[in-house]
Chains A and B, each alone.
Chain A
Amino acid sequence: MISITVNGTRHDLEVPPDMPLLWVIRDELGMTGTKFGCGVAQCGCCTVHVDGKATRSCVMPVSAASGKQIHTIESLSNDNSHPIQRAWVAEQVPQCGYCQSGQIMAAAALLKRVAGEPSDAEISNAMTNICRCGTYDRIRSAIHRAARQA
């Protein structure tokens, strides 16, 4: 039995300890906002916050997540009111949208980490998630916008 706390709710689960957090969230808890793209910490689709830090959940064994606060895209807001979500809508970032849960969670962690508006270099360093639709220009603009509005 492993217990994890996701978006403030505790779950006791019968899962192997080495099962990646991603698959626990998606298949066991049925929360599908967090996506699978590579399984090897390359693409960032699976990004969640573990104790506030952007973490690629596809390579984090569920046992390592036990006792930590895990937050997924579903926790940002009930009504798209989080400054990042508002900026993402204002800049019309998503195309297919598949990478965007991960992009948004990575951006939210970045804005929590840096004081004020991040520089372009800070954004380039922090935002290593892949978007195959190529929405990068708008991701950058949306992060600047969110930082100014937050």
Chain B
Amino acid sequence: MIDRAGFMRASAGFGAGLILAFELPGCAKDADTARNVKEFVPNAWVRIAPDGTVTVVLSKSEMGQGVVMGLATIVAEELDAAIEHVRTEFAPAEPVYGDPGFGGDMVTGGSTSVSHSWSTLRKAGATARAMLVAAAAQQWKVDATSCTTRQSVIYHATSQRQASYGSVAEAAAGVPVPQSVPLKTTAQFSLIGKPRQRTDVPPKVNGTCQYGIDVRVPGMVYAAIARSPVFGGRVKHYDARNAKKISGVLQTVEVSNGVAVVAKNTWAAFQGRDALEIVWNEGQNATVSTDSLFAEAEHLARGRIGERLAASRGNPEAVSGTVIDAMYRGPFLAHATMEPMNATADVRDGRCTVWAPTQVQLRARALASKASGLPPEQCTIHTTFLGGGFGRRLEADYVQEAVEVSKAIGGPVKVMWSREDDTQHDFYRPMSVNTVRGVVAGGAIVALTHQVVSPSWLRRWFPAGMKNGVDVLDVLEVIDAPYAIPNFRATYIDHEHGIPVGSWRAPDANWNGFVTESFMDELAHAARADPLAFRLAHMEKSPRAAAVLRLAAEKAGWGQNQAGVAQGLAVTAWAGSFGAMVVDVSIEKKLPKVHRVVSAVDCGTVINPDIVVQQAQGATNFGLSAALTGKITLSKGRVEQSNFYDYTVLRLADAPAIEVHVVPSNETPTGIGEICTPPIAPAVGNALFALTGKRVRTLPFSDALV
């Protein structure tokens, strides 16, 4: 629990949060609620105003996954607050909001927003409730334990008295903070587990929700940056004469990663940027291509160069049976969040203020500090809503840029990325080459080896995630696949190269899951077994994974496919959760056509069942989009794709009907934002095999079926 000193430090940031509300148009509602009133602030997470308004402070960013509703529900549950009186605001970049699960960093990622906040927010709500009750009990001169609470009201039954939370808020501020508070049992939950409409939906159907791109501060100008087309390149020299002829262009400034054109509006900034003539020092990546990188990766794989052991049991070489060897190849992928990268910065008078759609507030602040030359305490980060994250906004490169430009021009500026910028300057889902060998005997897998060759992004992003040279995420869905195999070895080769890579929805699992679950199918066919029965026979030690697989198969009617349509299935575990799906696939226009997805998920205790379904559906489509046509390729060190016409994504006409079944559970809540991304591609690939007899081991499917 946060101590008082901690929350006082944090509350310096609360004031700053309100300034945002005043400065932005369309936030009139927020401005109204930003009253100049004394609020009861029991801890950093919740405040209660005399009018009964409960403010929940969110240390997690809203990128579509539903934290605004989900986290507010957790606090309201233990607080016994009337949920209609609960509002939320995004936390400032302050260590008090750091996530212990990420070593104290502020991170929205890894499907951990609920699981990492669960006990902290329950305690925060319960503590606030206990202090409100204590304040009322003192006034009534009764024992606090004889009081009850419901819907933001405290009751004392024997004396028939009641008091609203708002009416005792001021008094509660004088009550000592209790050291420990009882939490509700599952049976006592009245909000958790019930479907409830998201409070962030109304502003998202009328255009008032404020994303990073929507920030407008008085006096603000706009900028676009020309970045080196080759990764790691630097400006040698440039000519801005033509850029300055564009109507609306104000000035150009060189920044660390290129040249910025500052203008009166976004359009002029884009036009001016395109008119710059820049000679680049392209650096060492100038000859890199995806072909050369895959050749390099296969060379490392075959020679087992730099191979590190990730896990091992028994002796895979000592057993005999039917041997299956395969190599799988996964492409780079862009995130393509719907809202391109952007940030607004104002560096003036010894202060640096940033408005950004970010998943990493403290990292954004550290980069703002570095770029502005001001100490972190003088840098403020306002988190806006995010038009998608998917891991891209775990990087704060675009914040640093905006601060550099603002510092150079001495005023507020919004740096806007075009879709082309966004596609060509991403931190990509790493390419990967996986070599697998399985031995089947007596209808079962007796040995399995799995070698992953992939560049580590954790090495840069979270070095503690490297254990003995193994990137712990890069071997997920390999070492933790839900199958008991007596002789097993997993190895990893960090294919270091100069192309920026990063986290991408269900990082690493999104690819390894394809390999593991496709190869399970290969082994099932080698054993002449039904893929469902074959998997279940190896899942005795993973009852929750087996349960979701059985449920999906049962709901989908596994084995009862119609003519011309094949079924495929897959199951994966991620972030403590389990997901399985059965897909119905045919072929249309040389692409798999997915008609229906029937999935089952187990994410422990469910906070809001409809958000679970939304995330399962969205994660499925995200994975499907990449599997069908997603591919970033390089030539001469440059990304060859630029916009949605050559980096194509799933649209409504090709989106399947997605049925989601949620396993009831009282286990601790676990992640739901990503669990359905890994299984979709292998399920489709397995269905394609059933349909055509052809095994696809290189994605996307669009390359395989031509």
Q: A residues engaging B (CB < 8 A)?
A: 16, 19-20, 23, 26-28, 30-40, 42-43, 45, 72-74, 76-77, 80, 85, 88-89, 92-101, 104, 123-125, 127-140
- The chain A residue sitting closest to B248, CB to CB, is A16
Inter-subunit contact B649/A32 (CB<8 Å): no
Residue in B206, B337, B340 whose CB lies within 8 Å of A77: B206
Instruction: List 4 tightest A-B contacts by C-beta distance, closest first.
Output: A33-B207, A134-B621, A98-B387, A97-B204
Task: Indicate whether B614 reaches chain A with its CB closer than 8 angstroms.
Answer: yes
Inter-subunit contact A36/B340 (CB<8 Å): yes
Residues on A with C-beta less than 8 A from B206 are 33, 73-74, 76-77, 80, 85
Inter-subunit contact B653/A80 (CB<8 Å): no
Bin the interface of chain B by size: 35 or more
Task: Indicate whether B64 reaches chain A with its CB closer than 8 angstroms.
Answer: yes
Residue in A19, A34, A40 whose CB lies within 8 Å of B643: A40
Q: For the complex, what is the distance from the CA of A80 to the CA of B211, rounded to whole Å? A: 19
Inter-subunit contact B652/A98 (CB<8 Å): no
Residues on B with C-beta less than 8 A from A139 are 652
Residues on B with C-beta less than 8 A from A23 are 265-267
Q: B residues engaging A (CB < 8 A)?
A: 25-26, 62-66, 197-198, 200-211, 213-214, 216, 222, 247-248, 264-267, 270, 336-340, 385-390, 416, 418-419, 610, 614-615, 617-622, 625, 643-645, 649-653, 655-658
- The chain A residue sitting closest to B417, CB to CB, is A36
Inter-subunit contact B653/A95 (CB<8 Å): no
Inter-subunit contact B338/A96 (CB<8 Å): yes
- The chain B residue sitting closest to A90, CB to CB, is B197
Residues on A with C-beta less than 8 A from B622 are 132-134
Inter-subunit contact B657/A97 (CB<8 Å): no
Distance (whole angstroms) from the CB of B422 to the closest CB of chain A? 9
Q: For the complex, what is the distance from the CA of A111 to the CA of B336, rounded to whole Å? A: 29
Residues on B with C-beta less than 8 A from A40 are 419, 643-645
Q: For the complex, what is the distance from the CA of A27 to the CA of B264, rounded to whole Å? A: 9
- The chain A residue sitting closest to B597, CB to CB, is A137
Inter-subunit contact B652/A38 (CB<8 Å): no
Q: For the complex, what is the distance from the CA of A98 to the CA of B203, rounded to whole Å? A: 11
Residues on A with C-beta less than 8 A from B655 are 134, 136-137
Residues on B with C-beta less than 8 A from A77 are 206
Distance (whole angstroms) from the CB of A19 to the closest CB of chain B? 5
Distance (whole angstroms) from the CB of B649 to the closest CB of chain A? 6
Inter-subunit contact B207/A131 (CB<8 Å): no
Known contacts A38-B643, A85-B205; is-contact A134 B650 (Cβ 8 Å): yes
Residues on B with C-beta less than 8 A from A28 are 265
Inter-subunit contact A35/B204 (CB<8 Å): no
Distance (whole angstroms) from the CB of A23 to the closest CB of chain B? 4
A-B contact pairs, 16 of them (CB 8 A): A19-B267, A27-B222, A37-B338, A42-B644, A42-B645, A43-B644, A74-B206, A74-B207, A92-B197, A92-B201, A127-B652, A128-B651, A131-B652, A132-B649, A134-B619, A134-B622
Residues on B with C-beta less than 8 A from A96 are 62-64, 337-339, 385-389
Q: For the complex, what is the distance from the CA of A37 to the CA of B419, rounded to whole Å? A: 7
Residue in B66, B216, B264, B390 whose CB lies within 8 Å of A32: B216
Of B66, B206, B339, chain A has the most CB atoms within 10 Å of the CB of B206
Inter-subunit contact A95/B266 (CB<8 Å): no
Known contacts A32-B26, A76-B206; is-contact A98 B621 (Cβ 8 Å): no
Inter-subunit contact A39/B419 (CB<8 Å): yes
Inter-subunit contact A137/B657 (CB<8 Å): yes
Q: For the complex, what is the distance from the CA of A129 to the CA of B388, rounded to whole Å? A: 16
- The chain B residue sitting closest to A136, CB to CB, is B655
Inter-subunit contact B621/A30 (CB<8 Å): no
Residues on A with C-beta less than 8 A from B265 are 19, 23, 27-28
Inter-subunit contact A32/B207 (CB<8 Å): yes
Inter-subunit contact B387/A137 (CB<8 Å): no
Inter-subunit contact A132/B385 (CB<8 Å): no
Residues on B with C-beta less than 8 A from A26 are 266
Q: For the complex, what is the distance from the CA of A7 to the CA of B49, rounded to whole Å? A: 38
Distance (whole angstroms) from the CB of B673 to the closest CB of chain A? 10
Residues on B with C-beta less than 8 A from A124 are 652-653
In the complex, given contacts A23-B267, A72-B207, A134-B620, what are 15 additional A-B residue pairs having Cβ atoms less than 8 angstroms apart?
A: A34-B207, A73-B207, A74-B206, A80-B206, A92-B198, A95-B614, A96-B385, A97-B209, A123-B652, A127-B653, A132-B649, A133-B64, A134-B622, A134-B625, A136-B621
Residues on B with C-beta less than 8 A from A38 are 419, 643-644
Residues on B with C-beta less than 8 A from A74 are 206-207
Inter-subunit contact A95/B65 (CB<8 Å): yes
Inter-subunit contact A97/B653 (CB<8 Å): no
Known contacts A32-B214, A42-B643; is-contact A132 B205 (Cβ 8 Å): no
Known contacts A73-B206, A136-B621; is-contact A36 B64 (Cβ 8 Å): no
Inter-subunit contact B222/A133 (CB<8 Å): no
Q: For the complex, what is the distance from the CA of A63 to the CA of B416, rounded to whole Å? A: 24
Residues on A with C-beta less than 8 A from B66 are 95
Q: For the complex, what is the distance from the CA of A39 to the CA of B416, rounded to whole Å? A: 12
Residues on A with C-beta less than 8 A from B336 are 132
- The chain B residue sitting closest to A42, CB to CB, is B644
Inter-subunit contact B201/A94 (CB<8 Å): yes
Distance (whole angstroms) from the CB of A86 to the closest CB of chain B? 9
Q: For the complex, what is the distance from the CA of A85 to the CA of B205, rounded to whole Å? A: 6
Known contacts A23-B265, A35-B387, A134-B619; is-contact A92 B419 (Cβ 8 Å): no
Known contacts A20-B267, A85-B206; is-contact A135 B213 (Cβ 8 Å): no
Inter-subunit contact A33/B208 (CB<8 Å): yes
Distance (whole angstroms) from the CB of B626 to the closest CB of chain A? 11
Q: For the complex, what is the distance from the CA of A28 to the CA of B418, rounded to whole Å? A: 18
Residue in A30, A101, A123, A137 whose CB lies within 8 Å of B207: A101
Inter-subunit contact B390/A132 (CB<8 Å): yes
- The chain A residue sitting closest to B642, CB to CB, is A40
Q: For the complex, what is the distance from the CA of A36 to the CA of B644, rounded to whole Å? A: 13
Inter-subunit contact A30/B644 (CB<8 Å): no
Distance (whole angstroms) from the CB of A80 to the closest CB of chain B? 6
Residues on A with C-beta less than 8 A from B656 are 137
- The chain A residue sitting closest to B423, CB to CB, is A38
Residue in B26, B207, B615, B649 whose CB lies within 8 Å of A130: B649
Distance (whole angstroms) from the CB of A10 to the closest CB of chain B? 20
Inter-subunit contact B387/A128 (CB<8 Å): no
Inter-subunit contact A98/B205 (CB<8 Å): no
Residue in B207, B213, B338, B658 whose CB lies within 8 Å of A132: B338
Inter-subunit contact A27/B652 (CB<8 Å): no
Inter-subunit contact B340/A137 (CB<8 Å): no
Q: For the complex, what is the distance from the CA of A124 to the CA of B656, rounded to whole Å? A: 12
Inter-subunit contact B387/A95 (CB<8 Å): no
Known contacts A16-B248, A36-B340, A77-B206; is-contact A130 B211 (Cβ 8 Å): no
Of A36, A100, A123, A125, chain B has the most CB atoms within 10 Å of the CB of A36
Q: For the complex, what is the distance from the CA of A30 to the CA of B206, rounded to whole Å? A: 15
Q: For the complex, what is the distance from the CA of A123 to the CA of B654, rounded to whole Å? A: 12
- The chain B residue sitting closest to A126, CB to CB, is B652
Of A32, A33, A45, chain B has the most CB atoms within 10 Å of the CB of A32
Of A28, A100, A104, chain B has the most CB atoms within 10 Å of the CB of A100
Q: For the complex, what is the distance from the CA of A14 to the CA of B14, rounded to whole Å? A: 40
- The chain A residue sitting closest to B658, CB to CB, is A137
- The chain B residue sitting closest to A105, CB to CB, is B207
Inter-subunit contact B25/A32 (CB<8 Å): yes
Residues on B with C-beta less than 8 A from A129 are 651-652
